[in-house]
Amino acid sequence: MEIDLSLKIENDEAKDSKMQELEDDQNEASMAAIGEVEDGSPLDMSLQDNHGGTKELFVLQMELNRMKEENEMLRKVVEKTMQDYCDLQMKFAQVQQNNHQKDPQIFLSFHGDKHWTIQGNSNVAKNLQKHVPVPLEEENEELGLSLGLKLNSGSGQRQREEEEEEEEKHETPNLASMQNKLHPGHLSAITTSHAHAISSPNRKARVSVRARSQTATMNDGCQWRKYGQKIAKGNPCPRAYYRCTAAPGCPVRKQVQRCQQDMSIMITTYEGSHNHRLPIGAPAMTTTASASESSFTSLDSSHPTLLNGIPSFTPASLLHQNPYFINHQRPLPTAFPWMPSKFSASNNGENVTSDPKFRVTVAAAITSQPIPIPSSSSSMGASREIENGNSKTKNWVLQSYTRSHKHIKPSP
């Protein structure tokens, strides 16, 4: 990101030359006035004329003094502007440096269905606080669901992964404790989401979103094609790789993985920027560039269309405008559609995406075209592992697992 802070001002020479011209003109005028007195026919000159010439000279001198003062004032303004410009440049450099050193964190907490609080010291947080049309209160209620937003900059992948692990360590117990505090039925469709964006000159920007979802994929309004799946180290849940197929050659990819600590949380990581117009229902984070710039919107992974026509950051209003979110409360399922059906109970009723009532509600709430909902038929049960070196044993186990679940399809 580069911001042109160049400030075009006239340099001193040009300014001085103009001033000189001005003074010359005034001198000429004065001299002309004097010359009139001196070069005119002195004998014939009447007293009245003399009086008039002196008056004109006086006026011109006054004008000259006034212009000198004005010029001095302008000089001060220019100096002040230059000073401000230098300060701004220094601040900008400092901000850039800070972005590399630490990660400004923004935490959005949802208290019941009434209040949202945004915490954070960054400018983004302050901006959010300005724009969120709900009263901001201290986080003092026990009943709260936290939604963390994080903007990173210039971190390496390792660092990011460590941060993510760290976040999970800190975040998951909180979630668990919150869920323990809450009656299961109080968990509405929106529970938590987590996003952060990374921008680095050498790395593609990434935005990862954590959302409680029971569907296999995050339904974000875009069209995705799965091109790979792997078991990541330290997480038994397979990581699925998707590519945007909404337009040929679109570089956007996303990774979908379940959170190890809380299987109901799905971590979706978007990478790249779309080379096409997004569907109306596609949230901003599906294009990392816009996600980095804009505010994030809390969303339920099953309900991308809720973002249609709604300002980029209106979680509270979103909730209030869509009573479905508040009223559609259901207990956490014990199994999820992405699990092999062997392990999952009949949970078709849990998938609110296919709920016609929800669709009608959304259609009524927003004015947009219906977004085709991609079939979440990818079986996450099949696992695989790289076959090399010492991982062969693990690979055999995984392949065995794969074979044993190969013909198991998730319940429709």
Stretch of 36-44, 73-81, 84-92, 376-384 lying at the interface with DNA (CB under 7 A): 376-384
Give the integer Cα–Cα distance in Å for 319 and 301: 15
- What minimum distance in Å lies between the beta carbon of 171 and DNA? 19
342 near DNA, rule: CB under 7 A: no
372 near DNA, rule: CB under 7 A: no
- What minimum distance in Å lies between the beta carbon of 370 and DNA? 17
- What minimum distance in Å lies between the beta carbon of 372 and DNA? 10
Give the integer Cα–Cα distance in Å for 30 and 67: 15
Closer Cβ to DNA, 116 or 401, answer by number? 401
245 near DNA, rule: CB under 7 A: yes
Among the listed residues 91, 102, 225, 342, the single contact to DNA using CB under 7 A:
225
Among the listed residues 14, 95, 386, 397, the single contact to DNA using CB under 7 A:
386
406 near DNA, rule: CB under 7 A: yes
377 near DNA, rule: CB under 7 A: yes
- What minimum distance in Å lies between the beta carbon of 407 and DNA? 9
Stretch of 45-53, 73-81, 223-231, 358-366 lying at the interface with DNA (CB under 7 A): 223-231
Closer Cβ to DNA, 255 or 268, answer by number? 255
Closer Cβ to DNA, 276 or 328, answer by number? 276
Closer Cβ to DNA, 71 or 235, answer by number? 235
Report 136-175 residues binding DNA (CB under 7 A).
Answer: 156-158
- What minimum distance in Å lies between the beta carbon of 349 and DNA? 20
Residue 277: both structure tokens together: 């117009």
Stretch of 166-174, 185-193, 231-239, 307-315 lying at the interface with DNA (CB under 7 A): 231-239
**Upper half-sphere CA count for residue 365 (Cβ side, 13 Å):** 23
Q: In which region does residue 91 sit, left (phi positive, over 0), alpha (psi from -120 to 50) or beta (all else)?
A: alpha
374 near DNA, rule: CB under 7 A: yes
384 near DNA, rule: CB under 7 A: yes
Comparing CA positions, the residue from 219, 224, 215 lying closest to residue 264 is: 215
92 near DNA, rule: CB under 7 A: no
How far CA 243 is from CA of 224, 233, 246, 300, 302, in Å, comes to 5, 22, 9, 21, 19
306 secondary structure, DSSP code: G
Question: Hunting for tokens 């929800």 — which residue is that?
Answer: 358
Give the integer Cα–Cα distance in Å for 2 and 345: 53
Q: Are 199 and 1 in contact (CB under 8 A)?
A: yes
Residue 367: both structure tokens together: 């004015």
Among the listed residues 226, 276, 328, 330, the single contact to DNA using CB under 7 A:
226
Give the integer Cα–Cα distance in Å for 105 and 48: 80
Planar angle of CA 188, 189, 191, nearest 5 degrees: 75
Report 254-293 residues binding DNA (CB under 7 A).
Answer: 255
Q: Are 147 and 194 in contact (CB under 8 A)?
A: yes
354 near DNA, rule: CB under 7 A: no
Give the integer Cα–Cα distance in Å for 386 and 246: 30
Q: What are phi and psi of 272, to 5 degrees?
A: 95, 175
- What minimum distance in Å lies between the beta carbon of 389 and DNA? 2
Give the integer Cα–Cα distance in Å for 78 and 70: 12
Q: Which residues bind DNA (CB under 7 A)?
A: 156-158, 223-234, 239-241, 243, 245, 253, 255, 374-375, 377-380, 382-384, 386-391, 399, 402, 406, 409
